[in-house]
Homo-oligomer: A and B are copies of this chain.
């Protein structure tokens, strides 16, 4: 039965290519200009790269990495023959700068013919991008691996294309972050936003204030040496690293070792959600002395010009309940806590400026008292971003790019920094929209499943920020995202492969075939609905080993099934091949619970899925009956219709955080069956 799904996938992903005169290039992001040629360049064991132009150790390392990755992807251990002509020539005018700045020239030009390839770029940054494009071009054909003939001229739409990873709620080790940098480079993202502190942990070693990590990290932090190594790793890939130390809110972890910074009394702890909360006290001189020394140290450690101070979600009640802070506000004529936060940020901004840093923070930092040099990161939306731009503030968009909301890629893809309020900006104001950042908040991810929460969906966001605003074809996006997703696994990411290992953990020694059928049609609940599922206080130490943690955020099987049902409906429910494909899928689902249920009962990690597995069986049966009615043209009994609607309503409800995402198309079949028969 499963093979029908497989065949469907084949058709959708590859049939497309066959119907065109030239194969679809699985490039993501789509370059600014692509001209396909004829023929293709064979990727042979003699493949070699030659570096021309400016000497640059970073580019040399990039070429070495490129050869290694091409070798992993194709399985060919390259053995260039001494003296023979090089296959790919790379020429740059300038090396990569020691410290990357916002707005570097990232353009490149790549020409592939059947006899060789040339990559040219004004500087090494563009060449690094071009090498990734080449890796994406390579495909298997009846004649071996080839890069199709093509001429590409490329440059990004926005200069700031970032990914935020929160390492506080769950500590994410450096090897996991590094492979995510590899993924970012593969889709041409250029800013890693490192959310290094939050209530649940302070993750960057400070030698000036050692208690930040010795008391505020539960032992999970990066040493300065590790951080420096990581920064080099990022720089080698043309990626800037912007550190974020969130303040005055989201900063309980600072207070564990330094309780005087807080607005109320401790003691504080990072262990779970117990004990007192607080926010930084902005009224004490000592706070600013602390921050001055801290920024001096961290500013040296992180060479980037931008320094993120967070600034989001400040809970005013801790200021309201402190008489000294109230008195301070009154003395300074401040009416609101927003005024007090602006006062705080103004001081922070001066400290940052003293240490040659540009301040960046979330929406809430926006205040007329702050200079126009700051950058606003908007979680509120394009209108908020545009309003800031109209006031002269530069900004980046993160609204719509929160990967932890578990949206389908298409929904992220549809969010453009320039839409909404962005459309009302002058061309000067538009330049203040620097780009955007995907954000992976880490309340519900572990090192084991964070890849699958970021990838491949992050590739769609990367395309939104690099490619033209008119690049909006969702079907093309999904096909290319899948192709890129497969190649990302060869880079070492585990977004596809980790799932089956997690399913195997749940299943013990049992075969996971039936479990996979279930896993492929469920998704975690969206937005912040998982918080509702949690009963009692959240414990971030709790194992993330449930079905909701293992499954992909977006089900390919469900999307393809839905597409098949739409297509079937458009055929007036006549297309027999589609009917057979849909029937096969529904039979698999109907029969799956019988295979799966003994296993579900044997494992503590699987018992909670008994209901959703039964629902899948019922949905499968309902769909099959609907197909029978459609096939036979028999009017359906009223009782049947009532029953199906009740089954569908039940199956639509989230079950312990899991959504059965094939209910919609089955409902459509049931309604189609009613409609069809009614027409007769």
Of A101-109, A255-263, A343-351, A502-510, which binds chain B?
A502-510
Kindly list chain B residues whose C-beta atoms are within 8 Å of the C-beta of A3.
1, 513-514, 517, 588, 591-592, 595
Stretch of A8-16, A623-631, A650-658 with 4 or more beta carbons under 8 angstroms from chain B: A8-16
From B26, B448, B501, B509, A482 is in contact (CB under 8 Å) with: B509
A75 within 8 A of B: yes
* CB proximity to B under 8 Å, residues A479-523: 479, 482-483, 486, 489-490, 497, 500-502, 504-514, 517
Cα distance A592–B500 in the bound complex, in angstroms: 23
Asked whether, in the complex, the Cβ of A604 is within 8 Å of the Cβ of B141, the reply is yes
Chain B nearest CB: distance from A627 CB in Å? 20
Q: Please tell me if A332 contacts chain B, counting CB pairs below 8 Å.
A: no
> Which residues 1-23 of A have a CB within 8 angstroms of B?
1-3, 5-7, 9-10, 13-14
Interface string of A172-201 (1 = CB under 8 A from B): 000000000000000000000000000000
B509 touches A486 (CB 8 A): yes
Contact residues of A: prevailing secondary structure = helix
Once bound together, how far apart are the Cα atoms of A508 and B17, in whole Å? 12
Name the contact of A10 in the complex, choosing from B145, B506, B510, B543 (C-beta under 8 A): B510
Q: Check if B75 sits within 8 Å of A545, measured CB to CB.
A: yes
Give the residue name and chain of the B residue nearest to A603 (CB): B140
Residues of B within 8 A of A79 (CB): 541
Q: Which residues of B contact A64 (CB under 8 A)?
A: none
Q: How many copies does the complex hold?
A: 2
Partner of A604, one of B144, B510, B598: B144
Q: With a CB–CB cut-off of 8 A, which chain B residues contact A602?
A: 14, 140-142
Report the nearest B residue to A479, measured CB to CB: B509
Interface size on A (CB < 8 Å)? 66
Q: Which residue of B lies closest to A6 (CB)?
A: B513
Given the complex, which residues of B lie within 8 Å of A541, measured CB to CB?
45, 77, 79
Chain B residues contacting A497 (CB-CB under 8 Å) are 497, 500-501
CA distance A73 to B505 in the complex (A): 7
- With A14-B509, A140-B508, A509-B26 in contact, do A502 and B75 touch (Cβ < 8 Å)? yes
Which residues of B sit under 8 angstroms from A507, Cβ to Cβ? 140
Q: Are B13 and A510 in contact (CB under 8 A)?
A: yes
Distance to closest chain B CB from A272 (angstroms) = 10
Q: Does A285 contact B (CB under 8 A)?
A: no
Tell me whether A231 is interfacial, beta carbon within 8 Å.
Answer: no
What's the nearest-Cβ distance from chain B to residue A537, in Å?
15
A480 to chain B, nearest CB (A): 9
Q: Which residues of chain A from 528 to 572 have a CB within 8 Å of any chain B CB?
A: 541-545
Contacts known (A140-B506, A142-B604, A506-B140); A10 close to B75, Cβ less than 8 A: no
**Min C-beta distance of A626 to chain B, whole Å:** 23
* Chain A contact residues, CB within 8 Å of chain B: 1-3, 5-7, 9-10, 13-14, 26, 45, 73-77, 79, 139-145, 446, 448, 479, 482-483, 486, 489-490, 497, 500-502, 504-514, 517, 541-545, 588, 591-592, 595, 598-599, 601-605, 607
Closest 10 CB pairs of A and B: A6-B513, A75-B545, A9-B511, A6-B511, A144-B604, A140-B508, A483-B509, A75-B543, A76-B543, A140-B603
22 contacting pairs across A/B (C-beta < 8 A): A3-B514, A5-B511, A5-B513, A6-B511, A6-B512, A6-B513, A6-B514, A9-B511, A14-B509, A14-B510, A26-B509, A45-B542, A139-B509, A140-B508, A140-B602, A140-B604, A141-B604, A142-B604, A144-B604, A482-B509, A489-B501, A490-B505
